[in-house]
Amino acid sequence: AQSVSQHNHHVILSEAASLELGCNYSYGGTVNLFWYVQYPGQHLQLLLKYFSGDPLVKGIKGFEAEFIKSKFSFNLRKPSVQWSDTAEYFCAVNLSNTGFQKLVFGTGTRLLVSP
């Protein structure tokens, strides 16, 4: 069965530190990949997405992610985090051949950025 793993459940960083959150999925076919963010008390919002083309995807607020097909990974990065990046981050995968969109989410990574 398709699954998504986020190995870092809790991450604590100081402001200006670099961030990398891991995401691995298990499916051998074509996938669409997403990172969603949930700020405290707010909705899930899309940070970035990968469908095809350049495997390095840039999203909002300075985030980027790299799709490495051989490693089944889609890690999220940011060179310098801010206190306002404190949030829960979810990786999600969608099979592109199902006809209907069905997102499978990872368990999330809680990021705390201290000022």
Partner 1 sequence: DTAVSQTPKYLVTQMGNDKSIKCEQNLGHDTMYWYKQDSKKFLKIMFSYNNKELIINETVPNRFSPKSPDKAHLNLHINSLELGDSAVYFCASSQDSASGIEQYFGPGTRLTVT
Task: Summarize as ranges the residues that interact with partner 1 (CB under 8 A).
Answer: 32, 34, 36, 42-46, 49, 51, 88, 90, 94-105, 107-108, 110
Beta-carbon contacts of 8 under 8 Å, excluding residues fewer than 6 positions away, are: 21, 22, 109
CB 31 to partner 1: min, Å: 9
47: burial class by Cβ within 10 Å (0-12, 13-18, 19+)? buried
Nearer to partner 1, 70 or 97 (CB): 97
Nearer to partner 1, 6 or 75 (CB): 6
Nearer to partner 1, 3 or 18 (CB): 3
Closest CA to 81 of 37, 17, 9: 17
Question: Structure tokens of 21?
Answer: 């959150």
Nearer to partner 1, 51 or 83 (CB): 51
String of DSSP letters for 94-113: EETTSSS--EEE---EEEEE
CB 67 to partner 1: min, Å: 13
